[in-house]
Amino acid sequence: MARKSNTLAPETLAAQALRHIDPVSGSVVPPMVATSTFARDENYDLREGYVYARYGSPTTAHAEEIIATLEGADESLLLNSGMSASVAVVESLPPNAHVVAQSMMYHVGLHWLERQAQRGVIRKDLFPAGDLHALKAALIPGETKLVWIETPANGDWSITDIAAAAELAHSVGAVLMVDSTAAPPCTTKPLDLGADISFHSATKYMGGHSDFTAGVLSARKDMPLWDEIREVRSFQGTILPAFEAWLLIRSLRSLHIRYEACSRNAMAFARHFAAHKDIEAVLYPGLPDHPGHDVAARQMKNGFGGMMSIRVNGSARRAFEMAKRTEVFIPATSLGGVESLIEHRRTVAGADSGIPENLLRISIGIEHIDDLIADFEQALAATS
């Protein structure tokens, strides 16, 4: 079993998987328990409370305990994708609940909310990311049940003040869920800032190696809906399986150092291209001229991450062509991995997304910064 100490730093707890040493073999790597069912003992009692893998398993529980420790949560629940996690929250709301979300956020989540609203399952209103006045105006006292923010926001990486959003949500009796995928708990802890639910696509920075999908929700014991969310996960059968949970444990052990490396590279990359003659704008919260920089600096304690978007000067098709010309950057959808990715976001998110045609979404990895800068420079030159 895990042995925790309140005197150890989060980096230490993560690196040693909560000081977990297998009591049978002495392995310093936590073992994987891969089974669908669990045998009862000679008295027909459950062994350690496990009955069937759809409800939980030792490996998944261990990964959840690590994340809960890093988040400062009482409990974390792992699901098999980020969308499974967000769906479980909305499915737990009462019928016809009013949901307020950002107009700039992960496009699949936004499309799913629109679908649910069209089906009459929920009512929804949207507000521009970071605009607290618009958020306040969208709330309906006694009717708004969920406020869903994402910060930094996927696309333009705008910043929303979590503490202020929590105060607004709570003033009308709503729960605040923060999608903090781009700001993992090594830099931002939404629960400490007043959020009720911290949500991550654990596929991204928590996973960090682009080899599995996962989602995670974290909360404290007094969070409304928590028991209902757990029930929804059980009924849907969307708990994270043991193998993926084991991979996640492996990844969490290096989270802090990976995030630090990505942040360092991204800052250097953003500074290099911020005043480039071929660049219209670099959208990165770490730059002092970013509109949300001051709030981001308060919320993101250990770096601004590796995510940015770059708007390229030139023809409408230039950014699209650049995404095909890079040699180090990989043209793929996702973020937070050790490898650097480039994406023509309008092509992926769709023409109705509001994403400008000249915008490239970039996930900076841990490669040598000189190689990343040179690769982007050559793609600019090739399309000039």
CA torsion sign for 49, 238, 96, 218 is positive
Question: Is 259 assigned a catalytic role?
Answer: no
Active-site entry in 106, 205, 259, 284:
106
DSSP, res 101: E
In the numeric block, which tokens belong to residue 72? 């400062």
- State pLDDT tens for residues 323-334: 999 999 999 999
- State pLDDT tens for residues 146-197: 999 999 999 899 999 999 999 999 999 999 999 999 999 999 999 999 999 9
pLDDT confidence band for 34 (50 / 70 / 90): very high
Report the C-alpha gap between 176 and 351 in whole angstroms: 29
The per-residue DSSP string of 204-272 comes to TTTT-SSS---EEEEE-TT-TTHHHHHHHHHHHT-BPPHHHHHHHHHHHTTHHHHHHHHHHHHHHHHHH
Amino acid letter, residue 147: V
Between CA 75 and CA 86, with CA 80 as vertex, the angle to 5 degrees is 70
Question: Is 115 assigned a catalytic role?
Answer: no
- State pLDDT tens for residues 69-91: 999 999 999 999 999 999 999 99
Report the C-alpha gap between 322 and 326 in whole angstroms: 7
Active-site entry in 124, 156, 161, 179:
179
Question: Is 179 assigned a catalytic role?
Answer: yes
- Mean pLDDT over 280-293 rounds to 97
Report the C-alpha gap between 309 and 157 in whole angstroms: 7
| CATH number of this structure's domain 10-252, picked from the four choices 2.60.120.10, 3.40.640.10, 3.20.20.70, 3.30.365.10 | 3.40.640.10
Which of the pair, 20 or 142, is modelled with greater confidence?
142
DSSP, res 361: E
In the numeric block, which tokens belong to residue 375? 């690769």
Active-site entry in 4, 19, 54, 123:
54
Strand boundaries in the chain, DSSP class E: 75-79, 97-102, 122-127, 144-150, 175-179, 197-201, 215-219, 279-283, 307-312, 330-331, 341-344, 359-363
CB of 28 closer than 8 Å to CB of 21: yes
- Domain 255-382 in CATH 1.10.260.40? The answer is no
DSSP, res 174: P
Return the residue matching tokens 């409370």: 49
- State pLDDT tens for residues 335-381: 999 999 999 999 988 777 778 999 999 999 999 999 999 999 999 99
Active-site entry in 145, 189, 204, 230:
204
Per domain, the residue ranges of the chain are 10-252, 255-382
pLDDT for res 5: 55
pLDDT for res 3: 44
Question: Is 106 assigned a catalytic role?
Answer: yes
pTM, two decimal places: 0.95
In the numeric block, which tokens belong to residue 322? 């650049």
